[in-house]
Amino acid sequence: MQNDVVIRTEGLTKIFEEGKKHEVIALDNVSLDIHRGEVFGLLGPNGAGKTTLIRILVGLLTPTKGKASVLDMDVVEDIDNIRERVALLPQEAGVYDRLTARENLVYYGGLYGIPEDVLNERADHLLDIVGLRKKEDYQVKSFSGGMKRKVLVARALIIEPEIIFMDEPTTGVDTVGARVVRNLLKKLSSERDQTIILTTHDLSEVTELCHRVGI
């Protein structure tokens, strides 16, 4: 793991309905550094601000106070450039059930303007990594929850992001599926030196997967 900082927040705060009777402080004065090649866990119960932090870092929310940078770019001023270099796997992310595993990857990558020959080469490699090469031509609607999560991870990787944000990656997946996803994340970390930021409420998941954790 290298030591260069790829994400930095300083006093990051997000307040909803600020100044009103029912204002909610979703994020309160958060300062952290995350390094390249690190699996960093954001641990806490629902409502702790984990998803809010990720949504700020990918430009879906603007902070009320404080600063944040991703890959040395400001999350407010340079968010378009940031989005070209990161991938988000939301908690409620869905696959295209009527497409095959390969078609899911190629279609998604095409939205980013990646040439077809490059997409097919990347899809071959990623389907091998996630263990779905033998299922690449099957419609995803026939897949288990764990297999669908594999497709989602591969789809996120098709654009070769420098950072992947994963919001509760094993939520809604059965025990077997959760194990599949965890093994995949460990493989990405060890073999690709992939920077991964994940949110979870599961202490055992953090212990197994993460180099460091923010609570």
Structure tokens at 214: 């923010």
Q: What is the pLDDT of residue 79?
A: 95
Mean pLDDT value across the chain:
90
SS3 at position 196: strand
Structure tokens at 132: 């779905």
Cβ–Cβ under 8 Å, residues 51 and 70: no
Backbone angles phi, psi at 189, to 5 degrees: -65, -45
Q: Which residues lie across from 27 on neighbouring strands?
A: 14
Q: What is the pLDDT of residues 162-189, one digit of tens each?
A: 999 998 888 777 788 788 888 888 888 8
Confidence of residue 61 (pLDDT cuts 50, 70, 90): very high
DSSP 8-state symbol, 139: B
Size of the chain in residues: 215
Alpha helices in the chain (DSSP H): 50-57, 79-83, 101-110, 116-129, 145-157, 175-192, 203-209
- If you write DSSP's letter for every residue of 65-88 in order, what string do you get? EEEEEETTEETTTSHHHHHTTEEE
Q: Say if residue 114 is exposed, middle or buried (CB neighbours under 10 Å; 0-12, 13-18, 19+).
A: middle
Query: What pTM value is reported for the model?
Result: 0.85
SS3 at position 141: helix
Confidence of residue 3 (pLDDT cuts 50, 70, 90): low
Q: Which residues lie across from 86 on neighbouring strands?
A: 163
- Sequence-distant (≥ 6) Cβ neighbours of residue 197 within 8 angstroms: 7, 34, 40, 42, 54, 57, 163, 164, 165, 166
Task: Give the range among 14-23, 25-34, 104-113, 114-123 with minimum mean pLDDT.
Answer: 14-23
pLDDT at 203 over 60: yes
- Which amino acid appears at position 79 of this protein? I
Q: What is the pLDDT of residue 1?
A: 46
C-alpha span between 160 and 155 (Å, rounded): 10
Q: What is the pLDDT of residue 48?
A: 80
Q: What is the pLDDT of residues 8-29, one digit of tens each?
A: 999 999 999 877 878 899 999 9
Walk me through the domains of the chain, giving residue ranges and CATH numbers: 5-214 (3.40.50.300)
Helices and strands (H and E) in the chain: how many: 7, 9
Q: Residues 51-64: what's their mean pLDDT?
A: 95
